[in-house]
Amino acid sequence: VLLWVSKPESSNSAEVIDALGANRQAFSMRTAAELLRMPRFWGFIIYVVGVASVYDVFDQQFANFFKGFFASPQRGTEVFGFVTTGGELLNALIMFCAPAIINRIGAKNALLIAGLIMSVRILGSSFATSAVEVIILKMLHMFEIPFLLVGTFKYISSAFNPKLSATLFLIGFNLSKQLSGVVLSAWVGRMYDTVGFHQAYLILGCITLSFTVISLFTLKGSKTLLPATA
């Protein structure tokens, strides 16, 4: 009744948004099929599974590895908390500057830099011999996260149809990373038990570095959109 009495006029902004097609159905089975046939989609999946997912599995048990460099587990936990807190504060600062940096270097280069940082941290951990070294390696995390997250959003929006950004992020990034992480966690856990942290990290670091190099050729820097669907 109130809407009928007030008789609100249509918003100019709403008309513009509708004219741009933002309110139209953005996803269809035809579009999904075309997406699955695109080599650049699978190139992105290769990066997510081979680099980002492996790194997540590595980071899951890093706290236990970190505590082994201190006189007691309690002291190690305390220092790990301080380092993590400081790293998150610096991470927020870098995240604020990341969009400007990535706009200048490009989304593909941002993802490759993130992959290189992840590889350095994992490989460095395999050779770490002191508490100072593992603290420095832990702090590398604050540089990797902004490049990975912002670079992912930028890559999805530039390499694919922007209307599919949310779907691509959920399926191409989150879902693929989580599912592959389940499989990798069991395998990596067995490696920790059989060969130890250092040897396992050497293997994981070689994997992420190899997939980062592969992604140099599979990730695309040009902008090609999916065909629009009715």
Average pLDDT taken over every residue of the chain = 83
Give pLDDT, residue 87: 87
This prediction has a pTM of: 0.80
The C-alpha atoms of residue 75 and residue 166 are separated, in whole angstroms, by: 42
Q: Report how far residue 130's alpha carbon sits from residue 139's, in angstroms, rounded to the nearest whole number.
A: 15
- The whole-angstrom distance between residue 199's C-alpha and the CA centroid of its chain comes to 25
Query: Span 220-227, mean pLDDT?
Result: 54
The secondary element (H helix, E strand) that includes residue 170 is none
- What pLDDT sits at residue 196? 93
- Contact 10/182 with Cβ under 8 angstroms? no
Query: According to the model, what pLDDT value does residue 29 have?
Result: 66
User: 161-182 in b/e burial notation, b at 16+ Cβ within 10 A?
Assistant: bebbeebbbeebbeebbeebbe
Radius of gyration of the chain from its Cα atoms, rounded to whole angstroms: 22
For 164, phi and psi rounded to 5 degrees? -100, 10
pLDDT, residue 92, reads 87
> Mean pLDDT, to the nearest integer, of 101-115?
93
Contacts of 124 (CB under 8 A, 6+ apart): 133, 137, 140, 205
The structure tokens listed for 68 are: 């082994």
Instruction: Give the pLDDT confidence score for residue 31 in this predicted structure.
Output: 64
Distance CA 151, CA 157 (A): 10
Residues 6+ apart with CB under 8 A from 44: 155, 156, 159, 172, 218, 219
* Residue 24 per-residue DSSP state: S
Distances (CA, A) of 73 to 76, 124, 208, 211: 5, 22, 29, 34
Residue spans of the domains in the chain: they are 80-217
Q: Which two tokens stand for residue 194?
A: 């059989």
Q: Which amino acid is at 4?
A: W
What pLDDT is recorded for position 175?
81
Tell me how long the chain is: 230
Contact between residue 165 and residue 153 where contact means Cβ atoms under 8 Å apart = yes
Please tell me the CATH code under which domain 80-217 is placed.
1.20.1250.20
